[in-house]
Amino acid sequence: MNAERIEGLKALVRAAGVDGLIIAGGAVRDAYLDIPARDIDFVVKHPGDPVKLAEIIGRVRKAAGVKELALVSEASENPYEGAFELYRSEDSGVEVVVAMVDAVDYVDGFDDDISQMWVDGKQFYATPQSRNAARSKTITVDRDQRRRFAKLKAKFRAEDGWLVQYA
């Protein structure tokens, strides 16, 4: 695990100063495995108030150092199951997933086991499934997630000792 990168992710969450905010998925997984990351996904539960949500998006944008986070999809067209809205930066790999459930519950529903890792402002967390996937170099993806399967298979190659399989 690259402890320095994990600490950097925790510092980003602290800098945003938003209760319930986490960084989840690929950025945390890649720091844990000490491989390059392409993006960073913040996850927070929708506060139920559009004004509070705008404040949260502004705080994350400022903490991440991006110019803008634009709404790219709403619940009906969102690529992430369980998400209410998705905001993305055009100039970097920063996303904010606004979930309908607590952020940790959202992570638990990820389509692959190895990405079920997250940090809050204080600690690193990983489900037993994600730790086992990292240890065994075997990633399991939900059967109906062909695009996700292909993406993981391209990143975690058999030549490097990885096995990506369907559940």
Could you give the CA distance from residue 143 to residue 111 in angstroms, rounded to a whole number? Answer: 9
pTM for this predicted structure? 0.91
What are 144-166's pLDDT values in tens digits? 889 999 999 999 999 999 999 99
Name the band, by pLDDT with cuts 50, 70 and 90, for residue 29: very high
Chain centroid to CA 152: 14
Could you give the CA distance from residue 46 to residue 102 in angstroms, rounded to a whole number? Answer: 9
Could you give the CA distance from residue 142 to residue 145 in angstroms, rounded to a whole number? Answer: 6
Domains and CATH numbers, the chain: 3-136 (3.30.460.10)
